[in-house]
Amino acid sequence: MPHFFKRWPLVIVIVLAILLIVLTILTSGQRDNLTKVEGVVGDIIAPAQGFMYRIATSVSQFFQSIKEKQQLSEQYEILKERVTQLEQQQLEMDEILRENQRLNRLLEFKEQKHPFIVEGVRITGKNPGNWFNTLTIDKGSNDQITVNMAVVNDQGLIGRVIDAGGNWATVRTIIDGQSSVSAIIERTRDNGMVKGNNSLTFEDGLCRMINLPLDSDVVAGDRVITSGLGEIFPKGIPIGEVTEVLQEERDMYKTAIVRPHADFLHLEEVLVIRRADE
């Protein structure tokens, strides 16, 4: 008898299965009314069926949710990679746009300079330090670039060639301490010499215009351009803008601090100017 009670769950399952079979047989025909037995069995089984249906539905929804989360995760990774690709493409397009804008400005400057021949070059190197005191360009004597040719960009004067090889040349910029350019104050027409401030121990990216007459009324905001003296730099190339005027009692001349028009921290392309008869 104790052995029977151990198996009672199995017995109940068998009895229920038999009742379901009987119910199926009895209800297989089309009838309008159920018998009392069918009603009682239905009342017993219906809650169980509802419970099992809810469980089955919950399990199905659970696994469906896991599948959807996995799909969403995969789609997220795909979209994330695509966004990265688009951002990279946008950066490349922006860089191309900026380069085209720079080259277009250089082209406009080139078309204005007659009777000079203007050669576009790229900067391939610079001296150590924060500023471009000297720089290397990617063309040289093979392209008829020689020492003392002026170098400019669309903003203004950059410097002059001081050495040239077959496919390269070295340029000393106007902010270098060893540079000097004959210049003129555009408004007052006062002549002077523009020298670079940068040295081995000091760098500020500025220039000084020295030897200005004591009676010059140069003021901050005046533009400085090349004078054309010396046959190196063509006349009228913008150099920079006066930011301060200095004069000590013992000085025989005035000195103007000049901020160059060219952005020497971000140079990439420049133009080398030579006369058409060279």
Per-residue pLDDT tens digits for 189-225: 999 999 999 988 888 999 999 999 999 999 999 999 9
Integer Cα distance of 97 and 148 in angstroms: 32
Asked whether the beta carbons of 205 and 175 are under 8 A apart, the reply is yes
Q: Which amino acid is at 41?
A: V
Q: What is the mean pLDDT of the chain?
A: 78
**What is the DSSP-derived secondary structure letter of residue 113?**
-
Q: Which amino acid is at 7?
A: R
Question: For 128-139, b where at least 16 C-beta lie within 10 A, e where not — what string?
Answer: eeebbbbbbbeb
Reduced to 3 states (helix: H, G, I; strand: E, B; else coil), residue 65 is helix
Q: What pLDDT does 255 receive?
A: 94
| Tokens encoding 264 | 């020497």
Integer Cα distance of 150 and 278 in angstroms: 13
Per-residue pLDDT tens digits for 93-132: 666 566 555 555 555 555 555 556 778 899 999 888 778 8
Q: What pLDDT does 68 receive?
A: 72
